[in-house]
Amino acid sequence: MCGIVGLFLKDKALEPQLGALTAEMLATMCDRGPDSAGFAIYGTPEKGKVKITISSPNPDADFKGLDAAVSKAIGSNVDFSLKSTHAVLTVPEDKADAAKATIRAEFPSVRIMATGASIEIYKEVGYPTEVAKRFDLAKMTGTHAIGHTRMATESAVTTMGSHPFSTGADQCLVHNGSLSNHNNLRRDLKHDGMTFETQNDSEVAAAYLTWRMNQGKNLGEALTNSLDDLDGFFTFVVGTKDGFGVIRDPIACKPAVMAETDQYVAFGSEYRALANLPGIEKARVWEPEPATVYFWER
């Protein structure tokens, strides 16, 4: 069992409240996944800049001198913003790969969680409300967010095993369920040049969608392909820079409820996650059909 929440805003007026609404939704899903939690938040992109979210179990020691080293290596200024065990580096778009190479080479104990123009990912072991608090989720703003509370089944309870998983720029995936063909698929994807940070099945699903989108498919097409190529139980919620997608396997055991108003599209593993959203009384509330792709793009 796991809990998923997602909120894709249509109304700009709600953007300042994105973090607060997501934190409230996440808190209702604590008992579905008390061992760890995480969230991806899509903020307003800054022209010509890319954000790199990094994490370390020992931020004091590991992040020391990191911004200066990256700045020196790429020959340009770097913004560094620390949030508990995570930090966000903002670098010029054309220097993002060089910055990541520097981090990997000189700071081997630092993990890269996400890269992109708008995405930031925060995830940690611990009770979901505590995780949300330590990263100050409630104060964050943006256009869409996806959160996850984890009850681990397929791999260890670690920071890196928590969701969301990001395997491509501005992409993320959260998963409730378990995949049975992830080892074979991981091998195939590795063969095609995809890289993996964990032994987790959900990371394979994320990499699969990235691999499909790298072939030029949009999120909706990639999700449709996943129905043929992924075996197991899944409800996925997926984010891209300006898109938000939902899919359930054909058996659809893993619960899902959605709501849509003029202001937002929202996802919850249960209705409890949606109950406090503004205007929910008048929202269209429905259960997504099995083996059916739902996606919204800005």
Give the binding site for another protein (CB under 8 A).
250-253, 255, 257, 270-276, 285-287, 289-290
Between 75 and 250, whose beta carbon lies closer to another protein? 250
Between 231 and 286, whose beta carbon lies closer to another protein? 286
2 is catalytic: yes
* C-beta separation of 40 from 121 below 8 A: yes
Diameter of the chain measured on Cα atoms: 54
- Residue of 2, 30, 172, 253 with catalytic role: 2
Match 């699969």 to its residue by tokens: 208
Shortest separation between residue 284's beta carbon and another protein, angstroms? 11
Between 82 and 251, whose beta carbon lies closer to another protein? 251
CA 259 to CA 269: how far, in whole Å? 12
Tokens of 128: 């979901």
Shortest separation between residue 44's beta carbon and another protein, angstroms? 32
Tokens of 262: 């003029």
* C-beta separation of 173 from 69 below 8 A: no
CA dihedral 277, 281, 284, 288 (to 10 degrees): 60
Shortest separation between residue 239's beta carbon and another protein, angstroms? 24
Shortest separation between residue 275's beta carbon and another protein, angstroms? 4
Q: What are the residues whose beta carbons fall under 8 Å from the beta carbon of 37, sequence distance 6 or more?
A: 26, 123, 124, 126, 127, 128, 131, 132, 147, 148, 149, 150, 162
CA torsion sign, 160 to 192 to 100 to 105?
Answer: positive
First to last CA, the chain: 31
In terms of Cα–Cα distance, which of 271, 272, 213 is closest to 238? Answer: 213
CA 283 to CA 41: how far, in whole Å? 23
* Neighbouring C-beta atoms of residue 274, cutoff 10 Å: 20
Shortest separation between residue 128's beta carbon and another protein, angstroms? 17
Shortest separation between residue 270's beta carbon and another protein, angstroms? 6
Cite the active site residues.
2
